[in-house]
């Protein structure tokens, strides 16, 4: 169908009405407005264009084979995403990086009741379940391993360390258990697996085994697991990366383009970001077999397993294991798929939507439920464009590679485009494990809180059609909106390295078959989202937030929420350090100045927004642009070029990961690091370092106030 053009006589009507005076001009404006659908009309249409069938088809296509980063199957998945986006009339291309990936070559684990007794070897295999439709490609699943694990052999008595946290090793020390020279057995569920290995190494262990406990992941004594229930089967193993940095380990802080500068693997190990001891992940069945051989003091009640499990003891020994791991670290090419819908009025302002594609196995939840939602969203945008919609600002759709190795694809792209993103990125919206069950969960930088709430009031609850997503969200037993301090998924480079306002969202919490070969399409059909209504809702809320950021003349940022959050977190911190030689006056003063700046920019925005209809059409767009730039760039001001102490890649001083748990989110991470250092060093004058970090936070908040006000001192 030919694109309609204005009628030939329309210009003459315009001229005549203009000459007729003010009332006619207003009539003309109303006429033009009535002829063009409003942005909100398009946004409502976006919500009505949903298709759970297309989301299901995308997920089924993406999860036919295991598709770990660097594999042929993952390249085929990239081609599928590229073709889907291109078919939606969204220009798309592939951006490649050459990065260090890790694959298993040889694994061995044996157990004996004591050092001199005969040993039994573990097969370290995840079993195919009855009726598995993917049995023919199960051999393509990589053997269970830890990516970037240290290659080596270790033999020693076993010590049980609960979740492998710092406090768990402190309790072992207090109980008189010597970890040095032993092999640590710890269970998943408390902290990032890389930090478990690091903590074991620092405690003197010669190797680490991390197992999936039935208490946390199900199955066990109840005898019900996938495919008969949602729980992890006894042979299921959670694999994953143990690299504690972000991005390519050999290019810390710069992009892994071909022939670039690289540091050696030995240098990365020496830095503590890659382990210096070998490790293996094992199943609940194998973990329980090892636990049965451990003697010594009985572990505390909260260290025990589920009802019916054997009694857990601390050791060391007499159980004795022999562990060997040999890995292959090699430079491989990864592929990010990038698609761009160019903005009409502000093409140099970017609203970025991202999800990763690679998976340790089939990836039905992690990450391809998010990929399916992303592609369904893109196809809805095509339909909007066919009806005449054009975004005010540019929308960039990103499908990342090698996230599972610890955020390689998104980090390399962010580092590669750092300066462009610093000056042009409005926001980054992330979806990883988009759907694993009921219940909506979101985290954001605080200026996006209100936008999230407003968008959720427009989206139907997929599990109760009589209410909105917001209705069910506010009645849930979890905090309404979390924060983005952790480094568990692809928002990390945008928030913590560059300072881009960001959101991460999902349906469902953790799920028991995480990172195992049982995270497949059958599990999703039976337990995750049988009707794919949650996938539709994920696409709807993600897309609506993106549309409002891309289309609204004034960026829908609310910094008063940020000011309240800063005030609240400062008070919590002060209470925690009550009686310590630390002053918070500079921090409180900077927050009060920030509140004044927020009030000022809010007043300026209201003044611009409250123009009468006639004057609105004469308003200088430069004023709106300048105000929006201040709103956009304020988040950047919370970063510091020097970064966190001993963790310089992390630039954000308000939100960052815990030093001892990469998944954990901390407010004022630099202050938290300094406090923990003081508590372990026991040197009184080191509180000066805590005071220094308080001053640093106060300075970035002051800088944010100046950016928000848009005035030089």
Active site residues: 403
Per the CB < 8 A criterion, the answer to whether 521 and 226 are in contact is no
Name 612's Cβ contacts closer than 8 Å, sequence gap at least 6. none
CA distance 651 to 641: 6
CA distance 76 to 64: 11
Per the CB < 8 A criterion, the answer to whether 361 and 519 are in contact is yes
CA distance 418 to 263: 21
State the helix-helix crossing angle for 72-87 and 368-386, rounded to 10 degrees.
Answer: 20
State the helix-helix crossing angle for 368-386 and 39-48, rounded to 10 degrees.
Answer: 130
- CA separation (Å) from 337 to 63, 88, 411, 458? 18, 14, 14, 30
Which residues are registered as beta bridge partners of 321?
A: 111, 156
CA distance 114 to 132: 38
CA distance 574 to 576: 5
Per the CB < 8 A criterion, the answer to whether 486 and 665 are in contact is yes
CA distance 338 to 92: 6
Give the strand pairing for 207-211 and 183-187. Answer: parallel
CA distance 75 to 357: 10
Nearest to 402 by CA among 329, 332, 494, 338: 332
Tokens of 169: 């090793």
CA distance 248 to 255: 8
- CA separation (Å) from 525 to 53, 226, 251, 519? 13, 12, 40, 11
Main-chain phi, psi angles of 44, to 5 degrees: -65, -40
Per the CB < 8 A criterion, the answer to whether 212 and 284 are in contact is yes
Greatest Cα pair distance, the chain, in angstroms, is 104
Tokens of 701: 């908040």
Per the CB < 8 A criterion, the answer to whether 324 and 153 are in contact is yes
Per the CB < 8 A criterion, the answer to whether 77 and 574 are in contact is no
CA distance 396 to 37: 23
Q: Can you give the three-state secondary structure of 355-407, one letter per residue?
A: EECCCCCCCCCCCHHHHHHHHHHHHHHHHHHHCCCCCCEEEEEEEECCCCCCC
CA distance 583 to 465: 52
Which residues are registered as beta bridge partners of 332?
A: 99
């Amino acid at each position: 169908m030919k694109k309609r053009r204005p009628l030939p006589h329309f210009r003459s009507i315009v001229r005549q009405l203009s000459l007729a005076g003010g009332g006619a001009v207003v009539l003309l404006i109303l006429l033009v407005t009535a002829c063009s659908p409003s942005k909100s009309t398009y946004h409502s249409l976006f919500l009505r264009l949903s298709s759970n069938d297309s989301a299901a088809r995308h997920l089924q296509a993406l999860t036919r084979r295991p598709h770990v980063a660097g594999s042929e199957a993952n390249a085929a998945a990239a081609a599928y995403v590229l073709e889907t986006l291109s078919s939606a009339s969204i220009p798309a291309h592939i951006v490649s990086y050459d990065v260090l990936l890790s694959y298993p070559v040889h694994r061995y684990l044996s157990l004996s009741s004591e050092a001199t007794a005969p040993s039994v070897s573990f097969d370290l295999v995840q079993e195919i379940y009855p009726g598995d439709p993917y049995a023919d490609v199960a051999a393509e699943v990589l053997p269970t391993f830890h990516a970037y694990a240290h290659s080596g052999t270790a033999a020693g008595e076993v010590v049980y360390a609960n979740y492998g946290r710092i406090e768990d090793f402190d309790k072992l020390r207090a109980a008189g258990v010597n970890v040095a020279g032993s092999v640590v057995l710890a269970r998943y569920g408390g902290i990032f697996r890389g930090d478990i290995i690091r903590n074991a190494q620092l405690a003197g262990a010669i190797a680490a085994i991390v197992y999936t406990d039935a208490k946390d992941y199900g199955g066990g004594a109840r005898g019900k697991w996938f495919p008969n229930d949602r729980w992890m089967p006894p042979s299921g193993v959670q694999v994953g990366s143990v690299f504690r940095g972000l991005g390519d380990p050999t290019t810390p802080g710069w992009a892994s383009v071909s022939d670039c500068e690289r540091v050696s693997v030995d240098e990365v190990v020496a830095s503590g970001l890659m382990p210096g001891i070998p490790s293996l992940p094992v199943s609940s069945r194998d973990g329980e077999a090892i636990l049965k051989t451990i003697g010594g003091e009985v572990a505390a009640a909260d260290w025990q397993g589920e009802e019916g499990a054997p009694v857990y003891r601390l050791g060391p020994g007499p159980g004795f294991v022999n562990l060997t791991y040999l890995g292959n670290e090699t430079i491989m090419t990864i592929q990010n798929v990038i698609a761009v819908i160019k903005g009409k009025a502000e093409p140099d302002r970017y609203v970025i939507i991202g999800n990763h594609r690679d998976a340790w196995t089939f990836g039905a939840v992690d990450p391809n439920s998010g990929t399916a939602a992303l592609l369904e969203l893109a196809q809805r945008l095509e339909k909007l464009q066919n009806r005449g919609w054009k975004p005010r600002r540019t929308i960039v759709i990103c499908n990342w590679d090698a996230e599972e190795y610890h955020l390689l694809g998104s980090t390399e792209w962010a580092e590669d485009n750092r300066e462009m993103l610093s000056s042009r990125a409005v926001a980054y919206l992330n979806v990883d494990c988009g759907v694993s069950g009921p219940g909506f969960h979101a985290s954001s930088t605080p200026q996006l809180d209100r936008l999230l709430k407003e968008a959720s009031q427009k989206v139907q609850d997929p599990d109760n059609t009589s209410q909105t997503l917001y209705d069910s969200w506010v009645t849930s037993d979890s905090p309404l909106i979390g924060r983005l301090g952790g480094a568990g998924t692809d928002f990390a480079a945008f928030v913590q390295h560059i300072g881009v306002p960001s959101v991460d969202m999902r349906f469902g919490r953790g799920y028991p078959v995480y990172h195992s070969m049982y995270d497949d399409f059958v599990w999703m059909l039976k337990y995750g989202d049988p009707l794919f209504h949650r996938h539709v809702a994920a696409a709807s809320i993600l897309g609506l937030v993106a549309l409002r950021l891309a289309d609204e003349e004034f960026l829908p940022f609310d910094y008063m929420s940020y000011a309240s959050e800063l005030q609240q977190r400062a008070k919590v911190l002060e209470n925690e350090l009550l009686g310590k030689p630390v002053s918070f006056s500079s921090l409180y003063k900077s927050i009060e100045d920030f509140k004044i700046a927020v009030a000022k920019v809010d007043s300026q925005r209201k003044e611009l927004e409250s123009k009468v209809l006639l004057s609105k059409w004469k308003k200088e767009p430069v004023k709106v642009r300048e105000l929006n730039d201040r709103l956009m760039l304020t988040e950047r001001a919370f970063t510091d070029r020097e970064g966190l102490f001993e963790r310089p890649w992390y630039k954000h001083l308000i939100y960052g990961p815990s030093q001892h748990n990469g998944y954990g989110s901390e407010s004022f991470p630099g202050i938290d690091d300094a406090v923990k250092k003081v508590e372990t060093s026991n040197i009184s004058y080191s509180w000066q370092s805590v005071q220094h970090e308080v001053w640093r936070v106060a300075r970035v908040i002051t800088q944010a106030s100046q950016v928000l006000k848009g005035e030089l001192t």
